[in-house]
Structure 1
Amino acid sequence: MSDRHPWSRYVAIGDSFTEGLGDPDPTAPGGNRGWADRVAAFLASRTDDFAYANLAVRGRLLQQVIDEQVEDALALHPDLITVSAGGNDIIRPGSDPDEVASRFDRMMADLRRDGADVVLFTGPDVGMTPVLGMVRGKAAIYNEHLHAIALKHGAMVADMWAIRGLRDPRMWAPDRLHHSPVGHATIAAAVLDTLGVDHELAPSTPEPLAARPWREARAEDLGWAREYLVPWVVRRIRHTSSGDGITAKRPHLEQIGTGARDGR
């Protein structure tokens, strides 16, 4: 590994995972920081010429990422692209991981056409997560497709499924759908590892949680369902999205500060 890197124009595309939901920061564009901002800030700290754009928007399905973000990303002439997409498709009832992967494959050919290095993400193991745990099998199939797609196109894989620490509840925001600040910091470290860039961002290893009484855990589950699950289901029924009316938080390549060097 090296503390130097060859990239100067980084563009991130995708959905809420890349937008940074779950990692609120009132000083960041869009009000969220996230792993991509952290990675960009660290990479910027290792070179005098570095610019970053983040086109990701919460709630976006794979086809929306393809239609709304891919060409805009390529128009910025990046030499590094990160892409996480398809997860929102996989968690929808009736979706086919083989079909979603086929579209991802075609998207990857476009992302690689100008020679940019590309990092894609497998989904984390959601077996312990309410509701999302029901699609664990589909997610695993999709992940296997993503590994094959990366091999086919010469892309790098940030393997979220392999990070067992992401199974810790403290890695997740209260909505249990997005990662917490410590989760985003852990993912940022994993992305830098994938890029082969030496860094000081240590993955978080929290102390084990104390066992909670059954009644307390169930009451928390019910509160979560009222506050987060029901609105999510209602949006599915109404065919609306949390990203309606939201635009990219960093639509243009810009120089950024290096305050995320320590990952905090």
Structure 2
Amino acid sequence: MNWGILAVAAGVGSLVVAGLSYAAGKVHVNGHVPRYAEHWGHRPDEHPADVLHYVALGDSAAQGVGASSVEKGYVSLIGARLARETGRPVSITNLSVSGAVSDDVVSEQLGQLDSLPFTPDIITIAIGGNDVVYPRHNTESFAASLTTILERLPTGSFVGDVPWFTIPGFNVVSGQMATRARQLITDHGHHLVEIHRASRSLGYWKYYLNVAQDLFHPNDVGYAKWADLFWEQIVESGTLERLRADQLQPA
């Protein structure tokens, strides 16, 4: 018996199985895109007098793609926590679009934000993951678009930096973009949510326990951690106390 040939055959077989599993997982996660977009596309026309308006911008992460349900994405988790902690009804307007890069936020989402018929009580945004992996995007183009975004967002918005990627090359670019983002976010008077540092601190093994079957988007565990990161800044900024106090103000 040729053990060398058997070992090679076993290795090839494992790679084939892994490849098929990844392909199936990618198809499954891609199926979230239209369903989750449809969910966020349904917005109530009327709101209670004491409603808290939460607006989210960004890409597929803000849509919750990769989570087992829309309710397990970080935007939904933050919305539910806001309602629980303030005692107010929360209306979520999610302007994010799957596949969006920072340029798309500038050209599309900011205009939608400006045209909303209400003043948001709280705004979150995480963008840049697609800038890392899409061709013809780099740290400088990302920084330029992010600067425009930060200049147009209401001061005190909650802005995530760029998540870490384990893939060689992308890990370096994501680190460079995150570094630029952190400086720009604080310089423009917004609250920095350090997604990159938190994801990188997991290390390679734990990182893959926090991503979906496509090995790109967060899974339920990963999104819960993203929600916690945003929530920490919401609490530390004093925004939660302000939102609670707003409920007590006479109409």
Coarse TM-score class (shorter-chain normalised) = 0.5 to 0.7
1:55 aligned onto 2:92 = no
Residues 86 and 123 of structure 1: CA distance in aligned 2, closer, same or farther (over 3 Å): closer
Letter in 2 for 1:108: L
Root mean square deviation, CA, Å: 2.1
Deviations 1:26-55 (A, max 9, x none): xx4xxx640111011100112224322111
1:176-224 CA distance string (max 9 Å, x none): 01001111111111111121269xxxxxxxxxxxxxxxxxxxxxxxxxx
The residue type paired with residue 56 of structure 1 is: S
Q: 1:40 to 1:166 in 2, by over 3 A?
A: farther
Contact 1:44 1:51 in 2 (8 A): no
Task: Provide the aligned length of Structure 1 versus Structure 2.
Answer: 180
Looking at secondary structure, tell me which structure has more helix per residue: 2
Trace 1:31-180 onto structure 2 (pairs within 5 A).
Answer: 33-47=72-86, 48-76=88-116, 77-112=119-154, 115=155, 117-127=156-166, 132-163=167-198, 164-165=201-202, 167=204, 168=206, 169-180=208-219
Query: Any idea what SS the aligned residue of 1:171 has?
Result: coil
Output one character per residue of 1:154-174: Cα deviation in whole Å (capped at 9) or x when no partner.
111111122123752110001
Distance 1:71 1:93, change over 3 A: closer
- 2:65 aligns with 21
Structure 2 length normalisation: TM-score? 0.66
SS in 2 for 1:170: coil
- Residues 1:73 and 1:93: Cα distance change in structure 2 (over 3 Å): same
Please tell me the residue identity of whatever aligns with 1:83. Answer: I
Structure with the greater alpha carbon radius of gyration:
2
Paired residues of 1:35 and 1:184 also in contact (CA < 8 A) = yes
Which consecutive unaligned segments of at least 5 residues does structure 1 have?
Answer: 1-6, 199-264
Question: Alignment partner of 1:13: what SS?
Answer: strand
Q: Say whether the 8 Å CA contact 2:129–2:163 is kept in structure 1.
A: no
Percent of aligned pairs sharing the same letter:
23
Is 2:131–2:142's contact at 8 Å kept on the other side of the alignment? yes
Taking structure 1 as the reference length, the TM-score comes to 0.63
SS in structure 2 of the partner of residue 78 of structure 1? coil
3-state DSSP class of the match of 1:23? coil
Distance 1:60 1:166, change over 3 A: farther
Greater RCO, CA 8 A, separation 6+: 1
Preserved CA contact (<8 Å) 2:128 2:161: no
Could you tell me which amino acid in structure 2 is paired with residue 145 of structure 1?
R
